[in-house]
Structures are given as C-alpha cells and as structure tokens.
C-alpha cells in the first residue's frame, strides 16, 4: 500500500505591529476617546509560483495588505476584539491566493484595573473548502 504524499508545511507571509488609534470597545468612553490597537497578520499560501518567476502578481503584496488592514482597524468601530479580528481575517481571505490567515489584535491600553502588558485576541480562519 502506497504512503499518502507528505503534507507540505504552508509558506507564510507575516506582517506584525500594524498600529492605529481607533474607537473599538464596548464602553462609551472607549468609543469617544479611542485608544491604540495593533494587528499581526500571518497568511498561509504557496509562494513557490511567485519565487519561480520572481513575480509579485503571484503572491500577496504585503504593502497593499497592510493598507487594507489599517483601513479596517481605523474604520467602523465594533464592540468586541473578536469581531474586529474576524473582519481583518475576511480581508486576508478575500485574496484568492491566501489559504488561511491568523490574526492577532492587541489592545495594550485596555482598562483592566490591574497592571498588565497587553490584551490580545487571536483567530485562525481557513478558506472554505
């Protein structure tokens, strides 16, 4: 019986630390004052075609991606980081070359009432089969 082909580890493109002052949050003061949010995006895709032809059109242009993610970050406010993360993942998966995206949203200035370094919500979404 033949062995199934080995599953290849996906290639990844990572953009970390996209930052913006935005107005997300469940409390009125968060919506009014705003605060700093940061986003990390890890995209899974096959970069071999781009590498073989040294062709930007066959991969994700991460400068354009960063602009789109920043637009979501500074766009319509949402209450939950989970909602924001999903919207950011949807932007990544809108690119047909992207098989999966992992998004981490950072809210370092959240009000927790205790000393802390950061609050994050991380999600991973795959392109529907």
108 is catalytic: no
Which of 72, 73, 71, 60 lies closest to 101, judged by CA? 60
Out of 28, 33, 107, 117, pick the active-site residue.
107
Cβ-Cβ contacts under 8 Å for 95 (sequence gap 6 or more): 43, 60, 65
The DSSP element (H or E) to which 121 belongs, if any, is strand 120-126
Residues involved in catalysis:
107
């Amino acid at each position: 019986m033949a062995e199934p082909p080995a599953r290849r580890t996906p290639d990844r493109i990572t953009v970390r630390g996209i930052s913006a002052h935005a107005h997300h949050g469940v409390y009125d003061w968060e919506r009014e004052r705003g605060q700093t949010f940061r986003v990390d995006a890890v995209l899974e895709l096959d970069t071999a075609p781009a590498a073989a032809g040294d062709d930007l059109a066959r991969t994700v242009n991460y400068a354009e991606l960063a602009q789109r993610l920043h637009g979501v970050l500074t766009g319509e406010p949402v209450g939950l980081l989970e909602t924001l993360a999903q919207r950011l993942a949807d932007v990544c998966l809108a690119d047909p070359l992207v098989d999966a995206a992992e998004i981490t949203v950072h809210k370092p200035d959240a009000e927790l009432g205790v000393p802390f370094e950061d609050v994050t919500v991380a999600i991973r979404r795959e392109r529907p089969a």
